[in-house]
Structure 1
Amino acid sequence: LARRVFGDGRTRAYAWGRAAPRDDVAAAAERVIAMSGQFEQRRLARAAYQLDVLDAFCGDEQLRRRAAARVAWRELQAVRRRHDELQGGAEAAEARLAELRALVEDTLGMEAEDEDSLRAERERLRHVTELAAGAGAASEALAPDDGEGAASLVAVAERAISPLEALAPELRRAGDELRDVELRLRETATELRSFLASLEAEPDRLEQVEAELDRIAEAKRRFRCTSYEELLARAAEARAELDALEEGADPVAAAAKAVEVAEQRVDELALVLRKAREAAAGPFAQAVAGELEGIGMGEGEFRVELSAQATGPRVTGADTVAFQIRPNHGLPFAPVAETASGGELSRIALAIAAVGGGETLVFDEIDAGIGGQTAHAVGETLERLATRAQVLTITHLPQIASRADRHFRVEKLPGDPTHTRIDPLGEPERRDEIQRMLGGQEFLTAVQAD
């Protein structure tokens, strides 16, 4: 994964060596890189973010359930709007019928895979000149209409060998191979000529393909579909609804039934999500508590409170999650957002990353609001994490920096414009930089003298 920032401010994202949408690259990065910075620490105080963290701890299957719940929620909202429109009166019902008929008419003849196959055909037709030139040149090289080609030359070689096979049986294999090669070369030349004929058979095909793709794009835009698959699904639903109306079915009753089915699907997914969260909440809290204890937060008292949303199921299910801590012995548990200081939020973010992080962990100023012995404990935790994952840390504290295997110095260079430079440090430079972070040689000398 990569992201390139150009001098004029433009950016471009890449995945597996190819340009990709920035949001897609970000989503892929979140699966393999655990980020922890001041922004993430602020997000940690939000219930929605806490729910995301717990679901990520549950695993990939839970994330797939959330994706299914998101789709089910959108479908529920759509059928509810349809039901409300039909209940709104005859005018709304007539508009709905007109939209259904237009959707069926505009998608007439469209089949699954049409869009992908048409795009592939368009790409081929756009290069018909190169295809024709290449196939023609290959055909002429193999078996030209005038003169000798590769097939004829092989035939000459075969005729030279054939009379000698009786005298030298060991040449029989070479003769058989030459005869086989000649046959295959002539068959290949015939296939190439057939390919050329197919290119010349439909000179207007590119315009037809472009027109069909434009029809698909216009239908997706008109009916607010984000994909071709969604367009076909909407068209199938429209045909089913029109068929029901022609058979005398009550459209309002049909819409109410669709709402009932969609609500049931949302409730089922919400229940599955809740069971997974209930099963994961205890192990997650126990693991985070163990990490908190190791970085100086009392006895590491941390728990996850799972409750039902008052408004019922939503796009992420029907649950609300609250991370709670007890920062001091004898105090009651309280939500992280109300109790944790800036330094405590930093350590909680570190503990959560340690529990749920992937193969790469990035900590941006994890030292915010901490110092002294706590900084030593955080450094020890980061060093321990580095035994199982790649850990990148941006820090201003020598207690943390001194634990790293490799060091880079980041500094701004004034100018027009200002530049940022990153330099790898060798062992002497590393010692000098940590000494500077400790206050410099004069400060250390003064401390030692005292």
Structure 2
Amino acid sequence: MIEELRIRGVGVIEEATLPLGPGLTVLTGETGAGKTMVLSGIGLLLGRRADPALVRTGMDRALVEGIVSVSREDLLAKWEDLGIEDGQLIIGRSITAEGRSRAFLGGRSVPVATLAEVTAELVAVHGQSDQQRLTQPARQSDLLDTFAGTEVLALRDEFTVAYDRLSAICREIADLRAGGRERELEMETLARALAEIDAAQIVAGEENELDVNRARLANVSSLRDAVAEAQACLGGTDAGDGDDVLAMLDTAAKALERVRDLDATTAPIAERLRQATREVIDILGELGHYESALDGDPNLLAALEERRSVLRGLMKRYGATTEEILEWAESARSRVTGWSSLEDRLPQLEADAVGVVQKMLGVGRSLTAGRQEAARRLEQLVSAELAGLAMAGASIEVRVEPRAADSPSPLPRDLSGTGYGRGGCDAVSMWLTAHAGAPARPLGAGASGGELSRIMLALEVAIAGSEPAGTLVFDEVDAGVGGRAAVEVGRRLARLARTTQVLVVTHLPQVAAFADRHLVVEKAATGKVTATTVRVVEGDDRRREIARMLAGLEDSEAATTHAEELLQLARESDTPETPRKRAQRSTRPA
């Protein structure tokens, strides 16, 4: 239940506090006073789209906050981490003039989706658009299931889970069948490619070694000349004339060795020259080995060029390097293995689909039985309510029929021809008999706007009796209703408010008279600034407001007398379990 609503900077509302409470609260005011902005504020708390146009001109942001009391044990356990204190939860939403939106729960910032998920458990808003939704089969089915209760809702959820599982299986089967020929052709292509790669016996990185060997074989003559020149310089040939490196190192070492007795410091230097001599001898040995390994065989160069050509061909098709070619081959092998598994999987998928369909149909039969039993009860309750809402002789028929076997569906139907959708095997529809002797017609074809208003209210009263909600908000649910029917609408709203907090935006004095709490939205202009306020009216103020609603004149004696008659009618309709008697004592004349 919403205990208090605070609105700041929303449209024409500069700042307003709405004290709410149990029972029926009505919101009235002149056309254009700002009642819609109150509903817009509630919509923000429900997570609806944040429109920066809602921010009041001259203010940097709009802010809506609510204090909600939570008494349901299941919700308290579910939301234990939301900061509920003493059964109260503070919720909020802000929008800047630039369009940035923030949501709050229990004083903490949360995603707007989280705020919407929480408030959806607490508040339901019904407007004139909901009257049109009432004509849609999907909405009618939802209403019936809600009325039927938790057992039917659990069966529907179980059916939906099975349906979604079947959808996934059928899509996979369809993909396997549709792509069979394409996969077969691609598998053949991959097999040929893998055979080509395997035959090449690729070694990762071998292209670099081939390039090195090719450069060596193509330049054997130049390499040999360079080796011979290096050997001659170092002293590795018999034709040396004494000025080669080995000879000079030997001469230098001997010169220092001759004088080492004169100065011992020359000895280490002489030893280093001998080490250098040994290093040159090692180098000459390596040059000899390198020279002997140089092979100028033209057949070897041709074989190397052929190998490079094979690798270049593979690189053009499967990767820029031998490593990439090997990676591609591994991936291709995995695809071929996976497709082989998919082909083997098809029979199993088909068996799974049959099993899921059998489960769905079993659950569907129980769901159908539950809906049919609930439909009879709902018909009786709603038809009785319509009689009290000045629709004598009217009745509602709730039909639970087999879903057409040829109805559009992405799924196959079972062999018995049963049709099904996500919500079960039934086609639920509501039909109205407007008066005795009239033919039953679908709600969308046989009900006027005023009749839809009363039917929706009758449904809410019936559903609230089976599963009370936290707060119901009605935006001009009485549209198209007047006279005695309006009185009965007020009476039913008051009855609904015995178990559920009800907030109604209304233009009808007959409805306002039944309220436990009456709020008036007023617009006032100060210079060039227009602002809307919300205030509670009681006693004479309330009589004057109802008189204004009746005649457009607050001080009309006739309207005031009529207003008192309406208030007295509401008091006489009161019952001990409602707070109306206490709330309306102050409205009686002194």
Q: Same fold (TM over 0.5)?
A: yes
Displacement after TM superposition at 1:434 (Å)? 1.3
Q: For 1:40-439, list aligned pairs within 5 A.
A: 40-87=130-177, 88-92=179-183, 250-310=344-404, 311=407, 312-357=419-464, 358-411=469-522, 420-439=532-551
CA-based RMSD: 3.3
Larger Rg belongs to: 2
8 Å Cα contact 1:285/1:303 also seen in 2:
yes
Displacement after TM superposition at 1:430 (Å)? 1.8
Displacement after TM superposition at 1:18 (Å)? 5.0
Query: Aligned partner of 1:436: which letter?
Result: R
Query: Aligned partner of 2:159: which letter?
Result: A
The one-character-per-residue Cα deviations of 1:244-265 (angstroms, maximum 9, x if unpaired) are: 966x983321222222223233
Displacement after TM superposition at 1:292 (Å)? 1.1
Query: Aligned partner of 2:152: which letter?
Result: Q
Aligned to 2:517, the other structure's residue is in SS state coil
The one-character-per-residue Cα deviations of 1:171-198 (angstroms, maximum 9, x if unpaired) are: xxxxxxxxxxxxxxxxxxxxxxxxxxxx
Residues in 2 aligned to 1:346 and 1:401: alpha-carbon distance in whole angstroms: 16
Q: 1:56 to 1:20 in 2, by over 3 A?
A: farther
8 Å Cα contact 2:519/2:535 also seen in 1:
yes
Residues in 1 aligned to 2:186 and 2:531: alpha-carbon distance in whole angstroms: 59
Matched positions, count:
303
Residues in 2 aligned to 1:375 and 1:276: alpha-carbon distance in whole angstroms: 34
Displacement after TM superposition at 1:5 (Å)? 3.5
The one-character-per-residue Cα deviations of 1:309-364 (angstroms, maximum 9, x if unpaired) are: 11311111121111112112111111111111000000001001101122433221
Aligned to 1:407, the other structure's residue is in SS state strand
TM-score for the superposition, normalised by structure 2: 0.46
Displacement after TM superposition at 1:369 (Å)? 0.1
Worse-matched range after superposition: 24-33 or 48-57: 24-33
Residues in 2 aligned to 1:267 and 1:38: alpha-carbon distance in whole angstroms: 37
Instruction: Specify the alignment match of 1:205 in structure 2.
Output: none
Aligned to 2:436, the other structure's residue is in SS state coil
Displacement after TM superposition at 1:276 (Å)? 1.4
Q: 1:370 to 1:309 in 2, by over 3 A?
A: same
Q: 1:5 to 1:351 in 2, by over 3 A?
A: farther
Worse-matched range after superposition: 413-422 or 316-325: 413-422
Residues in 2 aligned to 1:79 and 1:418: alpha-carbon distance in whole angstroms: 61
Segments of 5+ residues of structure 1 without an aligned counterpart are: 97-241
8 Å Cα contact 2:381/2:462 also seen in 1:
yes
Structure that is richer in strand per residue: 2
Q: 1:54 to 1:4 in 2, by over 3 A?
A: same
Q: 1:24 to 1:295 in 2, by over 3 A?
A: farther
8 Å Cα contact 1:86/1:251 also seen in 2:
no
Instruction: Specify the alignment match of 1:227 in structure 2.
Output: none
Residues in 2 aligned to 1:348 and 1:304: alpha-carbon distance in whole angstroms: 13
8 Å Cα contact 2:551/2:559 also seen in 1:
no
Residues in 2 aligned to 1:17 and 1:356: alpha-carbon distance in whole angstroms: 33
The one-character-per-residue Cα deviations of 1:360-382 (angstroms, maximum 9, x if unpaired) are: 33221011001111111111112
Q: 1:421 to 1:286 in 2, by over 3 A?
A: same
Aligned to 1:409, the other structure's residue is in SS state strand
Instruction: Specify the alignment match of 1:4 in structure 2.
Output: 93
Aligned to 2:386, the other structure's residue is in SS state helix
Worse-matched range after superposition: 301-310 or 414-423: 414-423
Residues in 2 aligned to 1:309 and 1:445: alpha-carbon distance in whole angstroms: 60
Displacement after TM superposition at 1:383 (Å)? 1.9
Structure that is richer in helix per residue: 1
Q: 1:95 to 1:424 in 2, by over 3 A?
A: farther
Residues in 2 aligned to 1:95 and 1:24: alpha-carbon distance in whole angstroms: 47
Displacement after TM superposition at 1:446 (Å)? 7.2
Aligned to 1:315, the other structure's residue is in SS state coil
8 Å Cα contact 1:412/1:418 also seen in 2:
yes
The one-character-per-residue Cα deviations of 1:93-126 (angstroms, maximum 9, x if unpaired) are: 8999xxxxxxxxxxxxxxxxxxxxxxxxxxxxxx
Q: 1:69 to 1:92 in 2, by over 3 A?
A: farther
Displacement after TM superposition at 1:385 (Å)? 2.3
Instruction: Specify the alignment match of 2:222 in structure 1.
Output: none
Residues in 1 aligned to 2:440 and 2:127: alpha-carbon distance in whole angstroms: 25
Query: Aligned partner of 2:389: which letter?
Result: I
8 Å Cα contact 2:94/2:102 also seen in 1:
yes
Residues in 1 aligned to 2:159 and 2:470: alpha-carbon distance in whole angstroms: 28
